[in-house]
Structure 1
Amino acid sequence: MTDVKKELLYTGKAKNVYKTENDDEVLIEFRDDITALDGGKKDTLNKKGAYNALISSKFFKILEDEGILTQFIKLINENEMIAKSLDMIPLEVICRNIATGSLLRKYPFHKNQHLQPPVLQFDYKNDVYHDPMLNDSIIIALEIATEEQLQQIRQITLKINKVLSEFLYERGLILVDFKVEFGFDKDGNIVLGDEISPDTTRLWDSETHKNFDKDIFRKGEEGVVDAYEVVVNLVLNDEEKQKWNID
């Protein structure tokens, strides 16, 4: 349904955002591009964008059912999503349940240490400054968000963590960590935006701890799209698989 697209608003590392005929809505196109290491590692993988769109839309619907406001409206095809237009907050909010990745490189955690309560981290979404970590004082001083808004973002993120961790564990996956982004809707509500997919999460097999996420690409291993396809098959129900021709 490419006729829905009116004007390119934004091009990211793996998505395009377009105007639509409705000023309150945008079209988000999930591309097959994949990047890692601050954009230093790149590739294009067939079906990757579609799988991310399908997974993200499923997660958004689950979260909406639990009372969390999201940007998601509907998928119009397997890699294009109609979403609410948001004024995005330039924060990447990272929730960590298990110590791995950069947390081990920067801090003296034990490998695979379970973090209870989960560790929440705020990064400044800005390529010029290479997405540095922020504390509350810097966020407030930069007028990115108020103290009250930060508290609300924390509460929403922890609820997202609880809902998705339980959903995924029932399907044999551990939600190790994830990144989310938020924006303000036209009424000033804080709304979950962007995506939640294997590009923005770490997902492990609950028994073997095998990766089903972008870490496969970061490590230079094969099977990235195959891993994303496994996640699609685990999270979609039979009706959804049939609708989108997922084997």
Structure 2
Amino acid sequence: MARRTKVYEGKAKVLYEGPEPGTLVQYFKDDATAFNAEKRAVIDGKGVLNNRLSEFFMSGLNAIGVPTHFIRRINMREQLIRAVEIIPLEVVVRNVAAGSLSKRLGIEEGTALPRPIVEFYYKDDALGDPLVSEEHVIAFGWASQQDLDDMVQLALRVNDFLSGVMLGVGIKLVDFKIEIGRIWENDFQRLIIADEISPDSCRLWDMRTGEKLDKDVFRRDLGNLADAYTEVAKRLGVLPSNGKVMTRPTLIN
């Protein structure tokens, strides 16, 4: 079988050309990074867990009419996705003060926010993905005002969905990051959720104990990252309660 063509490799995923025009294969790596990749590690099984969890969330969003790039899972580490033109912005929705918001504004971590806050960060690793305003986004042509309005509405719908799902399994959705891409259907542009939704891109706290079940476990050296992600997967029914993650699957090239 011919080796696939790599399209892009990021910190946590690799994109390959898909089997049909307009598709890509998204491969989830075991690499963990933090602080703009200044801290790195390889966590056995992380890619498998994120593949399954992102499939769960993306499928759920598709089912309620929130469009995503997800088509189907191929194997333990790969998904078939739609090719999109990524808008160069990270869209962050915050429900509770944590992370950079707490540091930036001096708000105690864990403080409930009066309403969900949507922020935009310019995707540029060399600059550290800086926070930008809507004025910056429009002035530099990264997105139009209509795009921004649509992105906020998409982000808030994702927030409603994720918050409800997590509440049902005793987890507080503190904040999360998504990416949004453009697709064209004839001459009509449509915005859809892209990249991934997983504990890599969300802050998740146990509602009873406050235990962190997300990448802060790695950032702050709070324990085993794979164990935290496995706990999330088990609560959501993505893994059986006594299930184990196979960490070294055979890959098909």
Instruction: Please indicate, yes or no, whether the TM-score normalized by the shorter chain is above 0.5.
Output: yes
Letter in 2 for 1:227: A
Alignment of 1:1-247 (within 5 A): 6-187=4-185, 188-236=189-237, 241=240
CA distance in 2, matches of 1:246, 1:5: 27
Q: What secondary structure does 2:179 align onto? A: strand
CA distance in 2, matches of 1:154, 1:5: 39
Deviation at 1:213, TM superposition (A): 0.5
Deviation at 1:128, TM superposition (A): 2.3
Is contact 1:5-1:27 (8 Å) kept?
Answer: no
C-alpha deviations, 1:185-223, integer Å up to 9, x for none? 132210100001010000010111100000000012321
Deviation at 1:116, TM superposition (A): 2.5
Give the share of equivalent positions with the same residue, in percent: 33
Is contact 2:214-2:225 (8 Å) kept?
Answer: yes
- Going from structure 1 to structure 2, the CA distance change for 1:14 and 1:246 (only over 3 Å counts) comes to closer
Question: Which residue in 1 is equivalent to 2:249?
Answer: none
- Going from structure 1 to structure 2, the CA distance change for 1:165 and 1:76 (only over 3 Å counts) comes to same
| Uncovered stretches (5+) of structure 1, i.e. residues with no partner | none
C-alpha deviations, 1:42-84, integer Å up to 9, x for none? 0001100010010011000111111100000011111101000
Is contact 2:17-2:23 (8 Å) kept?
Answer: yes
RMSD: 1.8
CA distance in 2, matches of 1:19, 1:73: 14
Is contact 1:217-1:224 (8 Å) kept?
Answer: yes
Letter in 2 for 1:224: L
CA distance in 2, matches of 1:35, 1:148: 33
- Going from structure 1 to structure 2, the CA distance change for 1:28 and 1:246 (only over 3 Å counts) comes to same
CA distance in 1, matches of 2:13, 2:124: 16
CA distance in 1, matches of 2:245, 2:216: 24
Q: What secondary structure does 2:198 align onto? A: coil
Letter in 2 for 1:26: L
CA distance in 1, matches of 2:231, 2:126: 35
Q: What secondary structure does 1:185 align onto? A: strand
Q: What secondary structure does 2:203 align onto? A: strand
Is contact 1:97-1:114 (8 Å) kept?
Answer: yes
C-alpha deviations, 1:16-67, integer Å up to 9, x for none? 0011231210000000000001110000011000100100110001111111
The two structures have a TM-score, normalised by structure 1, of 0.93
Is contact 1:94-1:180 (8 Å) kept?
Answer: yes
Letter in 1 for 2:193: L
Deviation at 1:5, TM superposition (A): 6.3
